[in-house]
Amino acid sequence: MAATSQQTFNQQLKKYYAFYTGGFILFVILLAIAEQMGLPRKAIGYVFLFATIGLYAGIGVMSRTADIAEYYVAGRRVPAFFNGMATGADWMSAASFIGMAGGLYVAGFDGLAFIMGWTGGYVLVALLLAPYLRKFGQFTIPDFLGARYDGNFPRAVGMFAAILASFVYVVAQIYGVGLITSRFTGVEFGIGVFLGLAGILVCSFLGGMRAVTWTQVAQYIILIIAYMIPVVWLSLNITGVPVPQAVYGKVLERVTEREKQLTADPVEQQVRDIFKQRAEAVDAKLKDLQASYDSDKAALAKKLDDLKASAVPEPEILAAQTALDDFPKNLDAYQAKLTVDKATATAKSAPPKPHATPFPGKDEHARDVARRNFLALVFCLMVGTAALPHILMRYYTTPSVSEARKSVFWSLFFIFLLYFTAPALAVLVKFEIYTNVVGLHFDHLPAWVQSWSQVDKTLLSIVDVNGDGILQLPELTLGQDIVVLATPEIAGLPYVISGLVAAGGLAAALSTADGLLLTIANALSHDLYYKMLDPSASTQRRVTISKVLLLFVALIAAYVTSLKPGNILFLVSAAFSIAAAAFFPALVLGIFWKRATKWGAVVGMVVGLGVCLYYMVTRYPFFGINAAKWWEIDPISSAIFGVPAGFIAIVVVSLITPQPKRQLQELVEHVRYPHLRGDIDTRAT
């Protein structure tokens, strides 16, 4: 009976989402026709923004619920295939969608650490966690820690780490939402943040996990279509084959050849030398900070006075005025600005980084350090993937253990589709820029270069440094995000596809933010309020409290985001290291080692998290301490120390504390078998 109704449900879902996908494609085609008939670009941006947010809100309204199991785990009847799609959207953030291909463009081989780390982690999820957590079958990850390690203390530590990791991550997502909305509609960053937030809230507020799940499936479909269309088209233009992933090896060969030409070219060398001199000049200023601060400021003031005295057009005077106004207000700011200038000039004075070469470096030692950091980063991202609560939580929503296992497969499959495309996109865009942009006369540059350099200087700017009228590689400055954002235009597609890409980026950011906010609100309402403060609360009350908390957390996150803290990549990687060090050892040993005790887990989580945070705070430049690094490992990979420390602490403390009571050992046996006749039942209702 139950099996047949599940099957009907599955069939219905497939039908609905097939209709939805068809409808969405039709919508894009209609917009394309409207564009041909003269619909302005800004209008297209607005239509995409409001149509997609309205769509997500609609799904949210349709799946509204006050039932506790529906609210927390979508009724535990999400089929493996759809849970895979939802996990894919939950997983792929603004950073994956907009930033990753650009990161790979800049970093070449070394950037592939993100590709491997963010996919390989699912092997750990599948083999070590998902099926067992599904068998346990409650609502949150701290739930498992509380039950397995017998008490509210382990639960509280888990709750704290879940909130910390998710909050850091959600700030990065909301930042992405604000950036995309403001770029494509021209509204202010702060307004963009709150617009996006409205979309997130309507959905998760009304229907909790149930609404979030069905919205995420819809968002996955949009984001994957939006990612694929421009890449396939670009590949068709360059290689004549519409499967970029299969053929970009040949393009990579040509990129490598072109890199050698650019390195040997005397004019390119001349421009690099100019940047080298600039770097040296900035360096000299850095050595005599006070004097150069005064003279730089005086020079700007004098220039303004001279311009005012002579009869030059108004814009020039205004520009000089702005330059003076923007001049750093104090020595610290001045020094920071010079340091950035020096790094930029130094980077531009080096020949192009060989894209295909692993761990390039000036000597054996530099290459070794690069390799060490690459492997450490891969490790941290993988273990972090297998410990992020908003991902693990998704496997509570499948109907059975075997569906949970299949669901991890579908998750990684859907993630894989985007992740094996991003390196291809990076190579194709690099080829385009190295051959069809660099070396051209400034008057003959492709239209997209001209238009983007007018839209946003931080994304793309060109300056003829040596005055020869030809663009050399160092004269071009690219922002990471341009790679994905400009691909439709590079491929010669209409603007409607650019709008589609923005909608895809928005879908990626919103879906991840949805999952994260829900994790935080659930940790507070379920673990803190219901399990610790008021275990007799009615289900009605629990759902209401959860919804109110969701609202508060969202507003606090949006407020923190509007302060624009740190850079996105650091926030994201910090979240991974925190989750990895705090959760992974306690979760895995809780399932695979019956002897792990309450105090072992508590000490292990605290030590793991402590080591990780300590290394991050004392080594990451943002905090200003900059202590010497251990084995020259960058602070982005701080979990490489936190995870082993956590494992060792759990094992040592467990062995010196009395073994867990019989009941807990039975719980461990219980989660290891999908079904035991006459067994206890831990499922929450």
Partner 1 sequence: MELSAKHREYWRRNLALTGVLLAIWFVVTFVLGYFAIPLAEVNFFGWPLSFYMAAQGSLIIYVLIIWFYARRMGKLDQEYDVAEGD
Residues that bind partner 1 (CB under 8 A): 1-3, 109, 112, 115-116, 119-120, 122-124, 126-128, 131, 245, 248-253, 356-359, 367, 371, 374-375, 378-379, 382, 400-402, 405-406, 408-409, 412-413, 416, 419-420, 423-424, 666, 669, 672-676, 678-679
- Positive or negative, the CA dihedral 634, 560, 54, 75 is positive
Instruction: Give the separation between CA 327 and CA 312, rounded to whole angstroms.
Output: 22
Kindly tell me which of 329 and 662 has the beta carbon lying closer to partner 1: 662
Question: Do residues 58 and 219 make contact, with C-beta atoms less than 8 angstroms apart?
Answer: no
Beta-carbon contacts of 113 under 8 Å, excluding residues fewer than 6 positions away, are 374, 377, 378, 381
What residue has token string 């019989």?
662
CB of residue 490 to partner 1, shortest distance in Å: 21
Beta-carbon contacts of 534 under 8 Å, excluding residues fewer than 6 positions away, are none
SS3 464: coil
Question: Do residues 384 and 396 make contact, with C-beta atoms less than 8 angstroms apart?
Answer: no
Question: In sequence order, what are the beta bridge partners of 441?
Answer: 470
Report in angstroms the alpha-carbon separations of 289 from 278, 300, 336, 507.
16, 17, 11, 46
Kindly tell me which of 193 and 668 has the beta carbon lying closer to partner 1: 668
CB of residue 78 to partner 1, shortest distance in Å: 16
Kindly tell me which of 381 and 482 has the beta carbon lying closer to partner 1: 381
Backbone angles phi, psi at 458, to 5 degrees: -75, -20
Kindly tell me which of 382 and 581 has the beta carbon lying closer to partner 1: 382
CB of residue 449 to partner 1, shortest distance in Å: 27
Kindly tell me which of 96 and 119 has the beta carbon lying closer to partner 1: 119
Kindly tell me which of 91 and 374 has the beta carbon lying closer to partner 1: 374
CB of residue 676 to partner 1, shortest distance in Å: 7
CB of residue 438 to partner 1, shortest distance in Å: 22
CB of residue 652 to partner 1, shortest distance in Å: 23
Instruction: Give the separation between CA 410 and CA 83, rounded to whole angstroms.
Output: 8
SS3 182: helix
661 DSSP 8-state letter? P
Kindly tell me which of 467 and 678 has the beta carbon lying closer to partner 1: 678
CB of residue 231 to partner 1, shortest distance in Å: 14
Kindly tell me which of 414 and 529 has the beta carbon lying closer to partner 1: 414
CB of residue 279 to partner 1, shortest distance in Å: 29
Kindly tell me which of 19 and 420 has the beta carbon lying closer to partner 1: 420
CB of residue 407 to partner 1, shortest distance in Å: 9
Count other C-beta atoms under 10 Å from residue 317's C-beta.
Answer: 15
Amino acid at position 202, single letter: V
SS3 481: coil
By CB atoms closer than 10 A (0-12, 13-18, 19+), residue 488 is buried
Instruction: Give the separation between CA 424 and CA 402, rounded to whole angstroms.
Output: 34
Pull the structure tokens for residue 566: 């740190």
Kindly tell me which of 325 and 364 has the beta carbon lying closer to partner 1: 364
CB of residue 339 to partner 1, shortest distance in Å: 32
Kindly tell me which of 365 and 441 has the beta carbon lying closer to partner 1: 365
CB of residue 408 to partner 1, shortest distance in Å: 5
Backbone angles phi, psi at 461, to 5 degrees: -140, 145
Pairing of strands 476-478, 460-462: antiparallel
**Nearest 5 degrees, angle CA 464-CA 468-CA 471?**
50
Kindly tell me which of 327 and 359 has the beta carbon lying closer to partner 1: 359
Instruction: Give the separation between CA 24 and CA 51, rounded to whole angstroms.
Output: 10
CB of residue 125 to partner 1, shortest distance in Å: 8
DSSP symbols for 577-636: HHHHHHHHHHHHHHHH-TT--HHHHHHHHHHHHHHHHHHHHHHSGGGS--PPPGGG--GG
